[in-house]
Chains A and B, each alone.
Chain A
């Protein structure tokens, strides 16, 4: 029995003290979400079916905004950019973060706290500072090109490392990596070292241990991290503007333009909900995949 269960049952048995159950405790947060999230979201959803006027909406209800969103060529191009960047960033981040989190949990020893602190400390640097740091590294006269030129390896700077999807991917992986390391570290925490040792004693080599023991146990947090990073990266519209070059724009920029620059609220709303639907579909697919592999209900027994 958990501590929470104990505290919620004892007063009920006594019958003389005010009983506040877990559901009641959630009411303030639920109200907050309804008033400040669900209701505006619903209103925004209605907007997507209204007729566009300049910085205004009116009747009648129409699917015009969705038709525009789905049939305009530029939207497809930007959506593809978002998809490619989102998947690249999410996959790279999870693959890089997994061994770091594993090392922290099972091998870091006395360095564990120090490294965790350093990872957390990266949050102190602002988003824009990190973007600009990458520009100063990857630019024509940046650290990378200057270093390679001073070593005599290059005559001309590598022009392809900045102002394209590669630069966006590198920067976003750097930005999201600490979050994913922490999520995966939390995913590794319940795994007893004895499990890993037992598999080793039973003759599993490193590859087998990862494939049959470790990865199944952290599949759920890894998949969650993947979806989280995918959503954040695909929806980002700041980094592509600074590092993405002329062809690096993503769908978020288009939504911003529709809502503010063009004053076409129904189109902005329709694009937003189409993007949201895509994200929900990705999340559902991930859950289905975990379920089909029977990895969605891993329980640790202490």
Chain B
């Protein structure tokens, strides 16, 4: 997903603050072990790891302080290549010249990455911690976005989130309950929009009751009209979530189309504790980020070890705190600090059998979607969606 803002320079101070705090944790493997974490992966089935991992994804998704102990224990080094937007992953891999071992992908990119032959089949025997995932992440009906119909996994979900309306309650008391509320003329020039064509397209399709992965070309005009009106409510299109949060904190905008609970935390870090996020009555969409091994990897064994460690209950909880995100491991929900836990409705869950059910309901309101096909005579394609976005921005 194009949640590129996470670790842009504007957020770096907050990023480093969290990182520094977690360095302590990363440096104390004994503590992790005492808390029940594997940290190395004491599981007999976990693969033997060593050597270098060439990492290609967002800055922060390599969770350096969280994985520090595992890397030290296994003599693993990570050589990161950070991206500015999700599309750089496929662009760099297809351009050649790099032997990337570990990538992440937003679930919507699965069809594209399959077509581009980027993803490889994971050996789940080497990732025993998969058993600890919430049941909803282990079911193959997740639109076939990380588990193929034949049961093969191409990615392991390790963090997720849901989109919603984010607003400053001090300037807009009570907030908004529907996406259409953002089109109120009173909010002209005060709505935040982010430069994320896929997210904007997916959200608008959801609001209008359409499937973004299979939108007939004839129906695209409805998406375009809605988005044009929404962008017309904005003074600018923010290049990142961090930047949109800055606009919110500065008072340039009061509410955001395609907001995110993570923005609450960013705003609080900047001194504004009145920023809130809600899932509107029409629902929204969720995103899931997955660790995957690209076809360019030459250290598959070690990357399996990395992925297994990343979904260890303690590590997954610490990673969620580090990234201000959500956990995919059931036991991790019990280990989160209060702030991170409050971002998503863990407190409403009955941990145990009902936990998966509850998440299922959440994902029914805010589902995981695929992305438009790369080629189609019938449906809007990924390229058409990307190229139309510039026209929508200009036409607003």
Contacts and interface: CB of A to CB of B under 8 A. Distances in A.
Interface of A: 54-56, 73-74, 77-78, 126, 128, 132, 135-136, 139-142, 159, 162-163, 238, 241-249, 253-254, 257-264
A244 B197 contact: no
A257 B390 contact: yes
B116 A55 contact: yes
A74 B394 contact: yes
B132 interface: no
A74 B391 contact: yes
A190 B91 CA distance: 49
Given A74-B394, A259-B91, A246 B383 contact: no
12 contacts: A54-B116, A54-B382, A74-B391, A140-B252, A159-B235, A246-B235, A246-B394, A248-B236, A261-B87, A261-B386, A262-B382, A263-B91
B236 A253 contact: no
Nearest to A72: B387
Contacts of A136: 250
Contacts of A243: 236
A135 B239 CA distance: 14
A54 B374 contact: yes
A126 B112 CA distance: 36
Interface in B174-220: 189, 195, 197
B115 interface: yes
Given A56-B94, A246-B232, A246-B396, 7 more contacts: A54-B116, A54-B375, A55-B90, A73-B391, A132-B246, A139-B250, A245-B236
Interface of B: 9-10, 85, 87-88, 90-91, 94-95, 112, 115-116, 189, 195, 197, 231-232, 234-237, 239, 243, 246, 250-252, 374-375, 382-383, 386-387, 389-391, 393-394, 396
Given A257-B386, A261-B197, A246 B236 contact: yes
B87 A78 contact: no
B234 A246 contact: yes
A23 to B, nearest CB: 32
Given A55-B91, A139-B252, A262-B383, A242 B243 contact: yes
Contacts of B246: 132, 135
A242 B87 CA distance: 20
Contacts of B394: 74, 77-78, 246-247, 249
A55 B88 CA distance: 11
Contact of A264 (B9, B88, B235, B383): B383
Contacts of B90: 55, 263
A96 B95 CA distance: 43
Given A140-B250, A247-B394, A262-B387, A54 B115 contact: yes
A262 B112 CA distance: 12
A246 B257 CA distance: 15
B6 to A, nearest CB: 16
A54 B371 CA distance: 15
Contacts of A264: 383
Nearest to A267: B387
B189 to A, nearest CB: 7
Given A78-B390, A253-B390, A260 B88 contact: yes
Contact of A241 (B9, B231, B239, B252): B239
A128 to B, nearest CB: 5
B390 A141 contact: no
Contacts of A132: 10, 246
